[in-house]
Chains A and B, each alone.
Chain A
Amino acid sequence: MTDIACASGVELLMDFLEDVLPADVKAALEKHVSGCGRCAAFVASYQATPRIVRNATDVTLTADIERSLQAFLRARTNAFKT
């Protein structure tokens, strides 16, 4: 495997993190990222993105919505049986 440039490295990132790349491609990408400050920074932000969006979009089920669900299911599943 020849050297990898930043652009092609970005395209391989998901497969790299999921460990599904061929061994030679994985080794070439690891070598590139370890010597490229820009790619190391890009990988850090790429990996942080899910955590940031996950925390920012977290919600809690309120007691009102839970009660509505129970009432809905009670009415509909009883109707379902008759």
Chain B
Amino acid sequence: MVVPAVEPSDETLAARAAVGDDSAFETIVQRYQARVFRLACRLTSDTDAPDVLQDTFLQVYRHLGSFRGDSQFSTWLYRIATNAALMHRRASNRRPSESLALEDYLPEFDADGVHKATPAELQIASRADELLDRQFLAGKARDVVARLPDLYREAFVLRDLEDMSTARVAQALGIEPAAVRQRVHRARLMLRGYLSELVGVKS
């Protein structure tokens, strides 16, 4: 009987890499490079992402000795990657100049607090991927995520695009879970309204 090899945990690899085991560090890089690159693209741009990727793993390598296991290794790594992306955004002149304003994308209500739009109009954003050309939607989605206010973008990307739990996002960003929920909620409202407008309906 062949017993499948058990992959070492991230924490085991980190402990080995911290004492000079380069193959353990290489395994960490292999395990996370695609995810960190995707995160970097979503937090910065395709142009800046390769630099963010390099900076992230260099920082990981340099600070492995300070990883104490207070959070999952991946949460710690995502915190480093998010900070690296933020530094690149601040240093980059390619920052989109126009941030989205939440109030422009909120649903509208009448005096009794009832939605003004019809159910069909309110639901249309959920069909944006059916109704719009894939390439067109990809370009618009990248642009609009880049135009979210920084605080909302970080929380939304980690929680909703990288599919981390709210608790882990809170750890990665160093904020309370309630703050994560508030920021993600606002980002979702803005993006939902934006998708709706992309298909020609303000709702």
Q: A: which residues have CB within 8 A of B? A: 5-8, 10, 13-15, 18, 20, 37-42, 44-50, 52-61, 65-66, 68-70, 72-73, 76-77, 80
Residue of B nearest to A76 (CB): B58
* A53 and B148 alpha carbons, distance in the complex (Å): 13
Size of B's binding interface in residues, CB under 8 A = 59
Q: Tell me whether B115 and A42 are in contact (CB under 8 A).
A: yes
Q: B: which residues have CB within 8 A of A? A: 22, 25, 29, 33-34, 37-38, 41-42, 46, 49-50, 53-54, 57-58, 61-62, 107, 109, 112-115, 117-126, 128-129, 134, 137-138, 140-142, 145, 156, 160-161, 163, 166, 181-182, 184-185, 188-189, 191-192, 195-196, 203
Which has the most chain A C-beta neighbours within 10 Å: B29, B115, B140, B156? B115
Residue of A nearest to B125 (CB): A45
Contacts A56-B137, A59-B46 given; indicate if A6 touches B191 (C-beta within 8 A): no
